[in-house]
Structure 1
């Protein structure tokens, strides 16, 4: 049985054709003209690939699913051509959404098979998010999806009400990427089985501002949101109030919600977390009685699950095959050879209430230090990311002697002074995270670094950070961080235990302070961090003083020759206009920032050279640049949508850092100026 690949552009949504997953055409025929092409292919599996996949991922998926046709929107992404170059297929253009919402009657396609006949047949094909590498296709059977349908039966069997029974017949806003598996799994499942009216976001980036408008006008009973979006709405007074006034419940999934946010919201709105996977769809979550238990899940016993002891006294959620629960264990229709299925999610039990479990991270997120100690970073990262100035936080240290922290700011500092201010503002959140973690996992000030604006953190389709890809992308920076700390504090190169022990005396626990050498190492490590912090602050003050003195000298030397009736000169010789600068972004193309040097021919030439090199360096990370020239069309040179985002970030970082008097460029600028020469000219000249 072959597959049909569907690639949906970010600005079009054709029926279900941008959900990042797939449905069998036996169930979904939208119109007679389109069905004339599809009907001869009844029984063919359709595979919907996310437009956020890299070209490598696209090629891998279509090959592994043996795709024979590619369905495209009316304005397909440039990457479609590159997919077809590597894997030739038939091309079919799909109508847009308005066509499918027309009032004309469509042909009814009968489905005469019984559930038992198709239980183990593919219903659709999903692909994993790529958190651990190239996304993998996962054929989902009718039996797997049937496990979600059976959840509505549980209350009639004497069990607690499930989430499906709670939202039955209600209107729910799904603030999830429409190309993500959860959007397809949950929207189709809730719509078909529970009669839920699913409100989907428009085809544009889903911001807190846009979500707030949907809260206000969609009349949704509740919303399913990513934790980051919940935090963004919470941090804005207007959006937070509107969210609480408009909705009756909030469901978050795909990650952890900071406790300080959830503990406030749970007193004003029903707050809960749900989980599932490609293989299981939505798990049978029982509704909780106490709103203070918002972090915990309670799964129906009909799932036949256990929390198998893993590490750090956490339980790995595992579904064990049992014949009496066959109709509720859909995962074993997808994997008929398995007797149990481990989800790979680690939970801790409620200290007082049996049956309630709180998510604490993935089994593969555990960090092992050279001290033989381990750390689950999820809770710490969640606390740090609650800081409104932090977009993402990733804790590293695998194979090292202690933990380190990589921060992705929401607004990048433009100089050393602003970077120090940023760290000072985030440090209380790091202290809070350190307070509740084991001593060996605490983040010291010298082990914090910021991401490079030109190297944004890789993210999966559900907008979660791809940890393994982050470690690979920043391997050099992490190595330099530990090498620098080792030079500053030689005692921190290895485990904080004696290098040798007296005969007959085993090494003690590294966390105990009864060994003088252990205490000495800890003191040396702390002192080293303090000294480094003091020296760094002194150097920053010295650099700031030099910059101020230089600016004053420049102002004195230029005041005689430079005069402008409509403008006032800044100390550094820039133009201070009434529009000003907001959040480090120039407000108008004609406005220079407060520290920008006059844009003479030499400065333009230097800036052009720097930007040109940045563009080539960024491209070198993604494509072969040996044959690339200044006049080469980048789109024709196989630059796909993900690589364009990286290039866009690199150019905008240059604009901010070099204080170019232009607005930050939008993605359309790259499509309009698809060569290196044109991009440089658009920014600098």
Structure 2
């Protein structure tokens, strides 16, 4: 995990290889051994990018964690049972700082599901639900966790007024400026890795793409195993994808309260000496936000959700502007549409950052030699990740993780689910037709459509084509168990429901039909334009929540098949 061992009793550290450590000890140790090295960069002015960026060093990071830990201790007292705190906050480093501060005081952070919005939520067990939750939804989310306290980055947030007369105790945490600029005394964390390994570092949620989100506990042991797996030496003749972004500046365009942000902002930054960028605190999760972060910094690596990269691929000026800085792009949260990937790979090294809330990021390897820019959407897992691809249909495979027998080589998922001997990812893949041992991500198994006649359809290619239509926002193909497919279409202007726009949509659908297999063809009678008050629901990472969408339009879909 690191070439230097840190502990509360050993700072500065002893020069000893120690692969598994507590992140709190690592950060406190780095604050003394590399105090001025950058962990992150943030805008100097919360309202504009024009003032430039400032560095957040390891010394500042450790100091801010100490400040928040003392604040939690003074305001709430210590915890012996990892009580749950919830946090609604803006897009800034306090998500990571609060997570680690809570650990020092005996709490844990619980990261809850969220929809896309300008503000995001955490817990201690730290939870990060969304500003868009209503009180009823928040109650269902927090009551099982016995959460009694909600923390806010500011009571001026919209959610603050919603919560002001509820049963929860509200507290506003110190501002980021105060935490970074004020000096705090050290808050000790005396536990060793062995003592704390089975205790929670954070609780995250599955994405909720195909059903209700489920909590997953990442213990300190899970985190250490994750870092160890991704830093394992690649087999002979191969290089690690993980090594491509070591020691460089990274622009993570991912939701701050989602696992896809914890990976770069904590695990990647500390273990790979990667400097992470933050946008303006109130910034929306858009392609333009990513562009602003890049304009005012010099990142070599852009990590983004697929829908943001679709926006980048469709804008030649954006590509030209950043190509002198950004050399590589990683996509996470779902498959990147082929049309977008084919455009981006002409200008950047493009690769998948495939992972799940249970697994973490999968350790990916590539053969030595020139980068093959024509094959960007497949990956080869490290042998020690022990993937097995099992056939579930014609040329379709599910990825299954087989438990390693050596406890020191145990994959992270079995730290979260210790009784399992194998883990079914419920993700399907196709063999790369060109590179042996490489696999192309298809999507969730639940997304595969099986028609009544037994015909099976992967809807992603059809959906990807339709998603590239300028006036279409998102589409969903359905028809599982039915005689033929149907298509839900959400427009960029959902209120534009007239015969002309329908004919324009149908023209695009018919064009996709010409390039589709017989089972995937959509009849004109089976195209539904969504209603403005029933938009297709999406998860935090922008992927469609299929089961919820089908529930919303169950009545209309049922009428189609009568």
Please indicate the TM-score interval, normalised by the length of the shorter structure: 0.7 to 0.9
Question: Is 1:218 equivalent to 2:297 in the alignment?
Answer: yes
Shift of 1:387: 2.3
Which runs of 5 or more structure 2 residues have no equivalent in the other structure? Answer: 1-80, 107-123
Residue 378 of structure 2 corresponds to 296
Query: Are the counterparts in 2 of residues 61 and 136 from structure 1 also a CA contact under 8 Å?
Result: no
Q: In the TM superposition, what is the alpha-carbon distance from 1:260 to its structure 2 partner?
A: 2.3
Please list the CA deviations of residues 380-426 of structure 1 after superposition, one character each: whole Å capped at 9, or x if unmatched.
21222122322111001123210011111223474635314532552
Q: 1:292 to 1:325 in 2, by over 3 A?
A: farther
1:169 maps onto 2:247 in alignment? yes
Q: Secondary structure at the match of 1:478?
A: helix
Instruction: Determine the structure 1 residue equivalent to 2:186.
Output: 107
Mapping of residues 450-529 of structure 1, within 5 Å: 450-483=529-562
Contact 1:23–1:125 (Cα < 8 Å) also in 2: no
**Following the alignment from structure 2 to structure 1, what is the Cα–Cα distance between the partners of residues 301 and 165?**
44
The equivalent position to 2:359 in structure 1, one of 273, 280, 283, is 280
Shift of 1:362: 0.7
Instruction: Kindly indicate which of the two structures has a greater share of residues assigned to helix.
Output: 1
What residue is the counterpart of 2:138 in the other structure?
A: 58
1 CA distance for matches of 2:527 and 2:553?
Answer: 13
Unaligned runs of 5+ in 1: 30-43, 484-685
In the TM superposition, what are the counterparts of 1:303-318 in structure 2 within 5 Å? Answer: 303-318=385-400
Normalised TM-score (structure 1): 0.62
Q: Which residues of 2 match residues 655-674 of structure 1 at below 5 A?
A: none
Structure with larger RCO (C-alpha < 8 A, sep 6+): 2
Larger proportion of strand: 2
More deviation in 462-471 or 46-55? 46-55
- Structure 2 counterparts to residues 256-655 of structure 1, below 5 A: 256-287=335-366, 289-324=371-406, 326-412=408-494, 414=496, 416-420=498-502, 422-423=504-505, 426-427=508-509, 429-431=511-513, 435-437=515-517, 439-483=518-562
Match of 2:150 among 55, 67, 70: 70
Query: Residues 173 and 223 of structure 1 are in contact (CA less than 8 Å); yes or no, is this contact kept in structure 2?
Result: yes
Select which of 198, 201, 212 maps to 2:276: 198
Deviation at 1:428, TM superposition (A): 5.9
CA contact (8 A) 2:86 2:150 kept: yes
CA shift at 1:254, angstroms? 1.4
Measured in 1, the distance between the counterparts of 2:304 and 2:375 equals 18
Residue equivalent to 2:86? 6
Selected match of 2:264 from 166, 186, 194: 186
Structure 1 pair 103/73, CA: closer, same or farther in 2 (3 Å)?
closer
SS of 1:298 mapped into structure 2: strand
* Aligned equivalent of 2:10: none
- What is the Cα deviation at residue 351 of structure 1? 2.0
Corresponding position: 1:119 with 2:201: no
Map 1:233-244 → 2, pairs under 5 A: 233-244=312-323
Q: CA deviation at 1:296?
A: 0.1
Once the two structures are TM-superposed, the CA of residue 445 in structure 1 deviates from its matched residue by: 2.6
Counterpart-to-counterpart distance in 2, 1:123 and 1:354? 38
Deviation of 1:6 (Å): 2.2
RMSD across aligned positions (CA) = 2.8
Contact 1:403 1:447 in 2 (8 A): yes
SS at match of 2:381: coil
The aligned residue for residue 49 of structure 1 is 129
SS of the equivalent of 1:405 reads strand
Bigger shift: residues 47-56 or 216-225: 47-56
Q: Secondary structure at the match of 2:84?
A: strand
Q: Distance in 2 between matches of 1:411 and 1:244?
A: 32
